[in-house]
C-alpha cells in the first residue's frame, strides 16, 4: 500500500504524500506550481482553456516494447490523484528546453505563422489540443511503419478542437494552424526523450494500491475489483470516480468537498475490454476513446453518436460506467443501451449479479444499486443480421453539448417479399422493436405503448402515424432551459418518422453510413 501518488510534471519527478483529493490538476498547476499558462474559463470542461496533455505507458512490460499514448484532457475537472504513473505536459513545457534563438515548438510556431491567436486567452488550450493531435498522428505513422507524415484531415482537426472555444471567432486561422502541424518533419524533444520518459515512468510503483489520509479527507486507488469491493464494505459512503467529468463539477462549481474519494482508473477488472461474436463487454472504467472504435462495425450509428458526447478531452476521461451510474435522465448512452438490451454486472463484496440496464433506473437519480455495490462492466449484445439500430441525438450544438432529446430504436423488419412481376412488396411487418428515449422523462425510459403500436404491424405510414400519437401516453416531458415540453414531444415524433424514412430508403442509409465511417475517428 503506497501513501503517495507519483507522476512526472514534464520531466520533473513529483511525489505527493499529503494532498486534498478534491484538488484539481488546474488548481495544482496554477496555485501550487504557479504555472499559469493553463487558464480557467468555465471550471466545467466546456471551453478547453485549461487543456493539458497526459502521456501514459502502453504496450508490453519490457522497456523496448513500451510506448507513450498522448491524450488531451481538461485540467479543470481532473482530480490530482488521477495523475499517478503518468506524465503531465502543459503549455510551459512545449518550447525546447535548450532552444536556440528562442525557438518555439512546431505547434506553437504554426499558430504564430497562421496568426491563430487574438486575445490569447484560449490559445494555450488550442495549442495543447493540437499537440495531442500531432502526437497521435505520429503514433499512427510509427504503427504503420511509414516514412511519410500522416496527413491530418479537416474532420480530425474538427474533432480534436471541438472542446476548445475561441470567443474572438478566430477559428479559420486556428484550423489552418492545426492542419499544418503534421507537415513538419521536425522531431521534438518529447520524441527524442521518449525512452527516458518511459524509463522514468516505469520506476513508479504501479502495482501498489494507494491510500492517502489527510485531516479531513481520504483518497483510495485500489488495484482490483475485490479490493474495491472490500473498500466499499468498509466505507459505504465513499464516492467513486473514474473520469470525473461530471463529479468534478460538484467541487469546482458547487464548492462541495468529497470526504472519501475512491479512484477506479487503476482497477484492472474495470478497465478490461472483450468481445465475441455475440457480445461486447466493456469495463465500467474504460474511457470512451478506448472503446468507441470497437463499436464502429457492429453499431456504426452508436459510434458516431459517441463522437458527439462532450469533446475529445471529455471522451479521453469519461467512462461508460460513469454515464450509466450517474443516472442522469439526459445521459446519452443509457437509451441506446436499453434499446440494445444491454446488461450491467454489479458487485458487492464477493457477490455479483446481472441486471438489465432498463431496470437499473428507478426514479430521478435513484437506481437499483445497493449500498457498497458498484458497476463492474456493461455487456452489449450484438445485433442479428436483420436488426438495425438507429440513434438520434438532438442538441443546440452539434458537438460538446447536452441532449435535449435522444432516441434509440432497435428494429427488426420481416424480409421484403417480391411481387409476381418482380417489384418489391413493401408490406413488411415489424418483427421486433425496442425504443428508448432520454430527455423525455425523469429517467432514461422505454416507449412501451409506442412499441406495442408498432409490434407485429405492417411497416407503413399509417402505422407510424398511430405510433407517434401514442407517444403522448408514454411521456409527459418537462420544460427547461434546453427545450420546452411541446418541442420535446414534437422532436420525439419526428425522430420516429425519420427512422421510417431512412429504413425505407436504401440510398439514404448508404449515404449516412458513409458519413458515419468518416466521423468515427476516436480510438486508442
Q: What is the CATH number of the domain that holds 249?
A: 3.30.43.10
For residues 243-268, average pLDDT: 95
Q: Is residue 524, in this structure, part of any structural domain at all?
A: no
User: Containing domain of residue 515, as a range?
Assistant: 272-519
User: Which CATH number goes with the domain that contains 154?
Assistant: 3.10.20.30
Q: Are residues 19 and 164 in the same domain?
A: yes
Angstrom distance (rounded) from CA 188 to CA 94: 9
Q: What angle do CA 402, 303, 124 make, to 5 degrees?
A: 60
Would you say how long the chain is, in residues? 524
pLDDT 10s digits, 32-57: 999 999 999 999 999 999 999 999 99
Q: Is the pLDDT of residue 518 over 60?
A: no
Q: Is residue 485, in this structure, part of any structural domain at all?
A: yes
**Which pLDDT value is given to residue 400?**
86
Neighbours of 376 (CB within 10 A): 24
pLDDT band at 425; cut points 50, 70, 90: low
- List C-alpha distances in Å: 415 to 372, 457, 515: 48, 14, 26
Q: Are residues 476 and 364 in the same domain?
A: yes
Q: Is residue 2, in this structure, part of any structural domain at all?
A: no
Q: Is the pLDDT of residue 509 over 70?
A: no
pLDDT band at 150; cut points 50, 70, 90: low
For residues 85-112, average pLDDT: 91
112: region left, alpha or beta (phi > 0 left; psi from -120 to 50 alpha): alpha
**Which pLDDT value is given to residue 418?**
64
**Which pLDDT value is given to residue 429?**
95
Q: Is the pLDDT of residue 215 over 80?
A: yes
Q: Phi, psi at residue 141, to the nearest 5°?
A: -60, -45
Calculate helix-pair angle for 123-143, 106-113, nearest 10 degrees.
Answer: 120
- Cell numbers 469491493 correspond to what residue? 229
Q: Are residues 165 and 243 in the same domain?
A: no
Domain count for the chain, please give it: 3
Q: Are residues 39 and 172 in the same domain?
A: yes
Cα 358 → chain centroid: 21
Q: Are residues 291 and 255 in the same domain?
A: no
Q: Is residue 300, in this structure, part of any structural domain at all?
A: yes
**87-89 and 5-9 as β-strands: parallel, antiparallel, unpaired?**
parallel
pLDDT 10s digits, 315-330: 999 999 999 999 999 9
Q: What is the percent of the chain where pLDDT is above 90?
A: 82
**Which pLDDT value is given to residue 206?**
86
Q: Is residue 1, in this structure, part of any structural domain at all?
A: no
**Mean pLDDT score of the chain:** 91
- 419 by Cβ neighbours in 10 Å (0-12 / 13-18 / 19+) ranks as exposed
- Per residue in 30-62, is it b (16+ CB within 10 Å) or e — as a string? beeeebebbbbbbbebbbbbbbbbbbebeeeee
Number of H helices, E strands in the chain: 19, 22
User: Which CATH number goes with the domain that contains 319?
Assistant: 3.30.390.50
Q: Are residues 315 and 412 in the same domain?
A: yes
Neighbours of 486 (CB within 10 A): 10
Q: Are residues 264 and 276 in the same domain?
A: no
pLDDT 10s digits, 54-70: 999 986 444 456 889 99
Angstrom distance (rounded) from CA 194 to CA 224: 29
Q: Which of 343, 331, 341, 245 is nearest to 285 (CA)?
A: 245
Q: Are residues 352 and 416 in the same domain?
A: yes
Among residues 202, 229, 251, the one where a domain terminates is 202
Q: Are residues 32 and 167 in the same domain?
A: yes
Angstrom distance (rounded) from CA 260 to CA 213: 9
Q: Are residues 326 and 246 in contact, defined by beta-carbon separation less than 8 angstroms?
A: yes
For residues 473-479, average pLDDT: 96
Angstrom distance (rounded) from CA 234 to CA 213: 15
**Which pLDDT value is given to residue 524?**
41
Rg, C-alpha atoms of the chain:
24
**Which pLDDT value is given to residue 517?**
47
Q: Are residues 265 and 278 in the same domain?
A: no
pLDDT band at 2; cut points 50, 70, 90: confident
Higher pLDDT, residue 512 or 84: 84
Q: Are residues 104 and 26 in the same domain?
A: yes
**Which pLDDT value is given to residue 523?**
44
- Least trusted range by pLDDT, from 88-102, 292-306, 491-505: 88-102
Q: Are residues 223 and 276 in the same domain?
A: no
**Which pLDDT value is given to residue 398?**
87
**Which pLDDT value is given to residue 427?**
81
CA atoms within 13 A on the CB side of 206: 18
Amino acid at each position: 500500500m503506497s501513501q503517495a501518488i507519483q507522476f512526472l510534471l514534464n520531466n520533473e519527478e513529483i511525489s505527493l504524500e499529503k494532498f486534498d483529493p478534491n484538488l484539481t490538476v488546474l488548481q495544482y498547476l496554477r496555485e501550487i506550481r504557479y504555472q499559469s499558462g493553463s487558464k480557467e474559463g468555465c471550471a466545467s470542461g466546456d471551453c478547453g482553456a485549461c487543456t493539458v496533455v497526459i502521456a501514459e505507458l502502453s504496450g508490453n512490460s519490457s522497456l523496448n516494447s513500451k510506448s507513450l499514448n498522448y491524450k488531451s484532457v481538461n485540467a479543470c475537472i481532473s482530480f490530482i490523484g488521477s495523475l499517478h504513473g503518468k506524465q503531465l505536459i502543459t503549455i510551459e513545457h512545449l518550447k525546447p528546453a535548450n532552444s536556440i534563438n528562442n525557438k518555439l515548438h512546431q505547434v506553437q510556431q504554426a499558430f504564430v505563422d497562421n496568426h491563430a491567436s487574438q486575445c490569447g486567452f484560449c490559445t494555450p488550450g488550442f495549442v495543447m489540443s493540437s499537440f495531442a493531435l500531432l502526437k497521435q498522428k505520429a503514433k499512427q505513422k510509427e504503427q504503420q511503419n511509414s516514412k511519410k507524415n500522416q496527413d491530418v484531415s479537416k474532420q480530425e482537426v474538427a474533432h480534436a478542437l471541438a472542446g476548445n472555444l475561441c470567443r474572438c471567432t478566430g477559428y479559420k486561422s486556428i484550423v489552418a494552424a492545426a492542419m499544418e502541424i503534421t507537415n513538419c518533419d521536425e522531431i521534438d524533444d518529447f520524441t527524442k526523450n521518449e525512452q527516458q520518459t518511459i524509463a522514468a515512468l516505469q520506476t513508479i510503483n504501479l502495482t501498489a494500491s494507494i491510500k492517502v489520509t489527510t485531516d479531513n479527507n481520504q483518497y483510495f486507488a485500489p488495484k482490483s475489483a475485490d479490493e474495491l469491493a472490500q473498500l466499499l464494505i468498509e466505507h459505504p459512503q465513499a464516492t467513486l470516480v473514474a473520469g470525473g467529468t461530471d463529479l468534478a463539477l460538484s467541487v469546482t462549481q458547487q464548492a462541495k468537498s468529497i470526504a472519501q474519494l475512491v479512484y477506479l482508473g487503476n482497477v484492472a477488472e474495470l478497465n478490461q475490454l472483450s468481445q465475441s461474436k455475440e457480445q461486447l463487454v466493456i469495463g465500467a472504467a474504460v474511457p470512451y476513446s478506448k472503446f468507441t472504435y470497437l463499436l464502429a462495425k457492429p453499431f456504426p450509428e452508436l459510434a458516431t453518436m459517441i463522437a458527439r458526447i462532450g469533446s475529445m478531452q471529455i471522451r479521453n476521461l469519461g467512462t461508460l460506467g460513469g454515464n450509466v451510474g450517474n443516472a442522469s435522465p439526459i445521459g446519452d448512452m443509457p437509451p441506446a443501451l436499453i434499446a440494445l438490451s444491454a446488461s450491467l454486472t454489479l458487485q458487492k463484496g464477493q457477490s455479483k449479479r446481472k441486471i438489465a440496464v432498463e431496470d437499473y433506473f428507478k426514479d430521478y437519480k435513484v437506481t437499483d444499486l445497493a449500498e457498497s455495490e458498484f458497476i463492474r462492466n456493461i455487456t452489449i449484445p450484438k445485433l442479428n443480421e436483420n436488426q438495425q439500430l438507429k440513434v438520434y441525438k438532438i442538441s443546440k450544438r452539434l458537438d460538446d453539448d447536452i441532449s435535449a432529446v435522444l432516441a434509440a430504436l432497435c428494429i427488426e423488419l420481416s424480409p421484403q417479399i417480391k411481387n409476381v412481376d418482380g417489384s418489391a412488396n413493401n408490406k413488411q411487418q415489424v418483427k421486433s422493436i425496442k425504443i428508448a428515449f432520454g430527455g423525455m422523462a425523469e429517467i432514461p425510459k422505454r416507449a412501451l405503448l409506442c412499441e406495442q403500436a408498432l409490434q407485429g404491424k405492417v411497416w407503413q405510414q399509417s402505422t407510424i402515424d398511430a405510433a407517434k400519437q401514442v407517444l403522448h401516453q408514454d411521456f409527459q416531458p418537462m420544460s427547461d432551459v434546453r427545450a420546452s415540453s411541446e418541442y420535446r414531444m414534437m422532436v420525439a415524433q419526428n425522430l420516429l418518422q425519420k427512422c421510417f424514412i431512412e429504413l425505407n430508403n436504401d440510398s439514404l442509409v448508404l449515404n449516412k453510413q458513409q458519413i458515419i465511417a468518416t466521423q468515427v475517428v476516436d480510438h486508442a
